[in-house]
Amino acid sequence: MELGRRFASTSTRTSNFGMGKLTFSQRINPSLRWHASAEIERHSARRAVFSTTRHVFRIGGDYDLNENWSASVSIGHGKGDLVSWCRLSFPEFLGTTQWLDGIFGGDWFPYQTISNTTLGHFSLLRALGPNRAMAVSADFAKSVGTGKPHTYFNDIYSLQYIHAF
């Protein structure tokens, strides 16, 4: 369980959050492990459009290629609130509740929709010593709104230096 406060550039986006996660993991052999998890995440902000709840289920595996290299992969499915921005002038958003907030200026406004999200993760890790490693990873998400069938993509590529104390 994790509880905290997430600060944003405007006070209406700043939120208290809570996240609970239940994970099952089992080693299949000395090099291979599989895992499954269920998560729930809740953000409570002063402005309703930024208050969100999301549920995610994941399954994945980790494989140690040798003493220094390991790979990890997972897929997941989530459902919950998604916040995005659009312009008042976009015809497909006529009739959408509009919370003008000035974050992007002009006629941009944030809106919330419920979405189904498909998640993917891949990482490759190289041990550099007993307490250091480098990792390269890719995270992919495709969310499809349930009310208005808009599709949202979020791809994140990372290079990390990890040092354990």
- Evaluate whether residue 98 is within a structural domain: no
DSSP 49: G
Range of the domain at 146: 2-84+115-163
- Distance set, CA 121 to CA 22, 88, 101, 134 (Å): 18, 35, 33, 17
pTM: 0.79
- Evaluate whether residue 92 is within a structural domain: no
pLDDT at residue 101, rounded to an integer: 63
- Distance set, CA 107 to CA 1, 36, 87, 89, 112 (Å): 39, 43, 5, 8, 16
- Evaluate whether residue 143 is within a structural domain: yes
Residue 45, amino acid: A
Domain count, the chain: 1
- Evaluate whether residue 130 is within a structural domain: yes
- Evaluate whether residue 139 is within a structural domain: yes
User: Contact, 113 vs 84, CB < 8 A?
Assistant: yes
Per residue in 39-69, pLDDT tens? Answer: 999 999 988 888 999 999 999 999 999 999 9
